[in-house]
């Protein structure tokens, strides 16, 4: 894959009008977009359909988790929307139900392991005894066993996860920050080049692009860094 197919721009903006503005500004530089809760609850599902109809790839970041039947029915409908990727929390029963529901659709299901905004103290507070790294590895093993299309994890865990899932599964890493950029609420971050070298297949970048004075220039600078890393 070329760098453009690996860069996913997170449209973490409050309105569809602002999302449309960002897509116009990015023009043909970006072909893959992430739509999450903020935009979904502001009319973003129809916007996601429109992007797919216009030939863009859409990563619907819904982090599904529910009883098996509810997860399956949701996945079936999302597959019909033409989405390229969909997240669900990497719980084994939910993943197995989703994989069965998505069979034959071309929808890439991604298991969310440990959010990149969480560290060891956050996991302890949530009732887990594992470190983030140990829990990511366990979830990766379970996702592979369930037949998932890929994993969402921090770039810090990408190398370990790649060793677990092999070359065929996607490793999608949020928390990507160009050198010198603010971390914001992310705690486990890497630069684009570092993440690709670590084994990530797709990079999710939101604020460094959508909040930039010139989003297209910011995206193209990241794409140039990614291209150089892929050549190396």
Annotated ligand binding at 186? The verdict is yes
Q: Which of 63, 130, 197, 211 is the catalytic position?
A: 63
**177 a known binding residue?**
yes
Residue 133, annotated as binding a ligand: no
Active site residue 63: yes
12 annotated to bind ligand? yes
Active site residue 185: no
Q: Is 62 annotated as a binding residue?
A: yes
Question: Which one of the listed residues 66, 119, 122, 130 is annotated catalytic?
Answer: 66
User: Is 66 known to be catalytic?
Assistant: yes
Q: Is 22 annotated as a binding residue?
A: no
Catalytically annotated residue among 22, 57, 61, 187? 61
Annotated binding-site residue? 116? yes
Q: Is 137 annotated as a binding residue?
A: no
* Cα three-residue angle 161-163-165, rounded to 5 degrees: 65
Residue positions in the annotated binding site? Answer: 12, 34, 61-70, 116, 177, 186, 206-207
Active site residues: 61, 63, 66
Residue positions in the annotated binding site for substrate? Answer: 12, 34, 61-70, 116, 177, 186, 206-207
């Amino acid at each position: 894959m070329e760098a453009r197919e690996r860069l996913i721009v997170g449209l973490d903006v409050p309105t569809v009008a602002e999302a449309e503005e960002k897509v116009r500004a990015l023009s043909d530089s970006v072909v893959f977009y992430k739509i999450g809760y903020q935009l979904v609850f502001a009319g973003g599902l129809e916007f996601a359909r429109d992007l797919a109809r216009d030939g863009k790839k859409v990563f619907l970041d819904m982090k599904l988790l529910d009883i098996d039947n509810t997860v399956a029915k949701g996945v079936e409908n999302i597959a019909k929307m033409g989405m390229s990727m969909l997240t669900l929390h990497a719980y084994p029963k939910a993943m197995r139900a989703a994989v069965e529901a998505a069979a034959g659709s071309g929808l890439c299901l991604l298991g969310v392991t440990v959010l990149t905004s969480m560290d060891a103290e956050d996991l302890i507070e949530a009732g887990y005894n594992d470190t983030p790294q140990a829990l990511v590895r366990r979830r990766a093993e379970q996702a592979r066993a369930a037949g998932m299309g890929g994993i969402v994890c921090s770039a810090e865990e990408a190398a370990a996860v790649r060793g677990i899932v092999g070359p065929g599964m996607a490793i999608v890493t949020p928390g990507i920050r160009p050198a010198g950029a603010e971390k914001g609420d992310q705690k486990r971050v890497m630069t684009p080049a570092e993440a690709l070298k670590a084994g990530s297949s797709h990079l999710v970048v939101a604020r460094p692009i959508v909040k930039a004075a010139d989003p297209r220039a910011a995206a193209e600078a990241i794409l140039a860094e990614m291209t150089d890393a892929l050549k190396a």
